[in-house]
Chains A and B, each alone.
Chain A
Amino acid sequence: DTAVSQTPKYLVTQMGNDKSIKCEQNLGHDTMYWYKQDSKKFLKIMFSYNNKELIINETVPNRFSPKSPDKAHLNLHINSLELGDSAVYFCASSQRSNRGGETQYFGPGTRLLVL
């Protein structure tokens, strides 16, 4: 009964390949996020979807394309992988409120290594 789950947990691939990471949440939240954590543990938001609508799109190369088939799922597709894409990618979810400051719940992460 994991709240936010991601697959795969580990992903090792060659430069130039295309890969996808999947995320699912069973918390009934309406907002989902993708974050990238680099080797120094620095965390940066990449995308956010609210009810399947893209609401945050940071300055991420267009090789990265998020897709939200429904509000419980947010997938991340990466084309033409580069060495610099090696990182840990975290999915998160929250229930949006007008007050703001809602808690985000994180998945366990996907460790991507591009060779």
Chain B
Amino acid sequence: GDSVTQMEGPVTLSEEAFLTINCTYTATGYPSLFWYVQYPGEGLQLLLKATKADDKGSNKGFEATYRKETTSFHLEKGSVQVSDSAVYFCALPLGGGKLIFGQGTELSVKP
């Protein structure tokens, strides 16, 4: 069945380091793909999305490219800040509004 797999956390980086959080998926067809972010004590919010193969989603310095050859949607940021500390979720829509989430990757950025 359809599924999403993310790299396990926690990930700890120093400020200004490069970030990659891996996400791979298994799906029928070519669905949209999402990254959501959950800041401490808050609900999830959409970070970025891509609706078709080779699309690149970007927001707040984060980027992810929808690669159907490798069924991946890895999240990257060139220079992380302390304020980026959060849990990041890769997500795949199944239709009918149903979203399945990866297990979440906790990022901690130290000054």
Chain A residues in the interface with B (C-beta under 8 A): 4, 31, 33, 40-45, 48, 50, 55-56, 90, 92, 94, 96, 100-109
Contacts and interface: CB of A to CB of B under 8 A. Distances in A.
Given A48-B96, A48-B97, A56-B98, A101 B42 contact: no
B17 interface: no
B106 interface: yes
Interface residues of B, number: 25
A100 B44 contact: no
Given A42-B103, A43-B101, A101-B51, A56 B96 contact: yes
Contact of A106 (B41, B44, B96, B98): B44
Classify the secondary structure of A's interface with B.
strand
Contacts, number: 66
Interface of B: 31-32, 34, 38, 41-46, 49, 51, 87, 89, 93, 95-101, 103-104, 106
